[in-house]
Every structure is written in structure tokens, then in C-alpha cells.
Amino acid sequence: MRLGCIDLESNVLLAPMAGYCDLGFRVAVRGLGGVGLAHTDLLSSHGMAAGECKTLRLMRTCREDHPLSVQLFGGDAAIMAQAARMAVDHGAEVIDINMGCPVEKVTKRNGGAAWLCDPCGAVRLAEAVVRSVEVPVTVKVRLGPDENHLVAPMMAGMFAEAGVAALTVHGRTTAQRFGGQVNLEGITEVVAAAGGLPVFGNGDIKTPHDAATMIARTGCSGVMIGRGALREPWLIRDTSVYLHTGQIPPPPSLEERVALMMRHFERLLEDVGERRACHVMRQRIGWYAKTLGPCRALKEQMRRVRTETELRGYIAEFLDDGMLCAKAPGSQTKAVD
């Protein structure tokens, strides 16, 4: 699949998730294969335009981190355009404009989902960003502010005319936040109105079959996966393989799962140092633990981890216990709680 001038390995995208799409995670998931495009966390256009260290740190990238989409939010077209140029100078190959974030910190600055209340202003902003950079510009929206104002289909046609390269639609309204069901009919209407503009469907994809259903029911060009990839980092690879071959690869072993978590940690160590890397792993163990089998002791240890040595010790202990348990007569589980 192509996005403007960029060839994508697949039509399955890793969603932007603030606080979760760090460089280490992106590189670890990309290493499994099948990622068409990965996104950064959403970044403030003001922070980017002002060259704030924190914002620039969040968009650090590396050789294995391609193609990369940098997601920006903001309420001012000129600043968004300036921030987009800076992001491109720092390695962004795609600029994504966030027009779906319902969080007050973002909407009170007229960014994110606030744009769904001003469709014409949203399109003018997208146009300004498209004009300011040579890379493809995409937009991520929800269906509308609430169920009585499903503006995304109308906006899709206008974005296409403004030169936007693709649109992602989270099939919920701002008012829904993460509640209720994803509205596949709503996404279908966006696809129908988009006049050939590629549309990526998003929301609640937990299995490769969910992705296939979303594509079949809505006609979208591809899918974007968020929480499903936090829970199961192999989901993007599996979905990509399934969409292309109809087969789902065998599940990873416990050792492969732990190795992925360690690759994430080691990339963080290089990128942000021991203190911050341990902090991130303390936060992420809850997601990783969901697929590690019984691992209560590991979870408790990791929630307190402060150093690389401690972390490696906990992991070694966990794997040793798993092997002992697997060797025990009559044992069926690979790890002990």
C-alpha cells in the first residue's frame, strides 16, 4: 500500500498512544514485522515550534524506526505548519494531525477533538499543514462530537480536496470517549464520502479477525491498532499476515515474549537511561503481564524496579521458575505465580 510517496509494508498501523508509543516500543513491535506505519505520542505543536526539549525527546527516532508518523495537535494553523516543518527536519516521514483527542488538556487549547466542532476550520488547518511540508499529511478523527453530530463523513470529502493523504477514523464520538461499541456503520459512511481518500478504521481491534471484519464491513483501506498492540505486541504482525494470507502465525513462546519486553527495555536504556527506562517498565508490566501466564510475583517486583540489575534478576528468576515448573512431573503451566 502507498501513502502519498511512501510505500507501506502493510495496511496495519500502530496507533499513536500518549505515554506508550516510545521509541523502544515502536522498534520492538516493528522488529516483529507487519507494521505499515508507526506513530509517536501526540506532540504539542507549540512545544515543537518552541523547540522544547521534552517534545523533541518524544519524537526521537532511529534507523530501524521507519516509516514514522509524527502526530501533532494544536489550535493555530501557523504554529501547526511551523511545527510540521520542524518535525520533518527531525525525521518525520508523515505528519498526522490529531483531531480526535477528547482530553481536556488538548481540547482547551482548541486542539484534538475540539476541531470536530469546527469542520471548516479543521480543513483550513489541514490545508495549511499540507502546504507547509512535502511529506504526506494525514488526519485522525472520531466520528463527531456526539451521536447527533456525526461530521466525519462530511469532513472526509473536504480533507481529500485539501490534499490530505489519508484519514484515520476512530469509530466513536468524542462524547463516548472509550465507552460503548465502535460504530462500523459510521466508518462505512466516512469511507463512502471520502471519494477515494484512503481511510484507516480504528477501534477495538483485538484479533486479526476483528481487523478483517472491519475492512469487510466498512470498505476501509486498512486498520490502526492501539490497545490491542499493548496487550499483545504480536497482534500487528499477525493481523498483517492474516489479511494477506488468511493464516495466523503460531503464537510466540514465553521466552519470545520475555525477549520482546527486554528489547523494549534495552532500547529505552540506550535512549533515556536507566532511571527513566525502569520507570517506563514499572508502568508497562501490567500490559506485558497480560500474556505472560501466571506471573504475580514478577508483576509485584517489576512495579518496584529501580535498576537494570534488579530488572534482569527478576526476569531471570521468572524464567528459571517457569523452567522448573515445566519440568515438574504433571505440570502443565510454564510459570508459577
Ligand X SMILES: Cc1cc2nc3c(=O)[nH]c(=O)nc-3n(C[C@H](O)[C@H](O)[C@H](O)COP(=O)(O)O)c2cc1C
Binding site for ligand X (CB under 6 A): 15-20, 41-42, 71, 98, 100-101, 140, 170, 202-205, 225-228
Q: Of 21, 101, 220, 278, which is the active-site residue?
A: 101
CB of 291 to ligand X, least distance (A): 16
CB of 112 to ligand X, least distance (A): 8
Pairing of strands 137-142, 12-14: unpaired
Residue 286 CB neighbours (<10 A): 13
CB proximity list for 191: less than 8 A, separation 6 or greater: 156, 199, 218, 219, 220
**Rounded Cα–Cα distance for residues 134 and 297 (Å):** 50
DSSP 8-state symbol, 113: G
Contact (Cβ atoms closer than 8 angstroms) between residue 92 and residue 69: yes
Task: Output 36 or 322, the one with its CB closest to ligand X.
Answer: 36
Residue 273 backbone zone (phi > 0: left; psi -120 to 50: alpha; other: beta): left
**Rounded Cα–Cα distance for residues 84 and 70 (Å):** 8
CB of 99 to ligand X, least distance (A): 8
Asked if 101 is an active-site residue, the reply is: yes
Pairing of strands 68-73, 94-99: parallel
CB of 39 to ligand X, least distance (A): 7
The set of cell numbers assigned to 269 is 536504556
Task: Output 141 or 254, the one with its CB closest to ligand X.
Answer: 141
CB of 284 to ligand X, least distance (A): 11
**Rounded Cα–Cα distance for residues 318 and 336 (Å):** 8
Task: Output 144 or 322, the one with its CB closest to ligand X.
Answer: 144
CB of 266 to ligand X, least distance (A): 23
Task: Output 43 or 278, the one with its CB closest to ligand X.
Answer: 43
User: Cβ-count burial of 163 within 10 angstroms (0-12 exposed, 13-18 middle, 19+ buried)?
Assistant: middle
**Rounded Cα–Cα distance for residues 40 and 14 (Å):** 9
Task: Output 86 or 235, the one with its CB closest to ligand X.
Answer: 235
Q: Which residue is at the shortest CB distance from ligand X?
A: 226
Task: Output 179 or 330, the one with its CB closest to ligand X.
Answer: 179
Helix then strand count (H, E) for the chain reads 14, 10
**Rounded Cα–Cα distance for residues 200 and 213 (Å):** 13
* Residue owning grid cell 509524527: 70
* Residue owning grid cell 466542532: 117
Task: Output 41 or 274, the one with its CB closest to ligand X.
Answer: 41
CB of 313 to ligand X, least distance (A): 29
Residue 163 backbone zone (phi > 0: left; psi -120 to 50: alpha; other: beta): left
By annotation, the residues acting in catalysis are 101
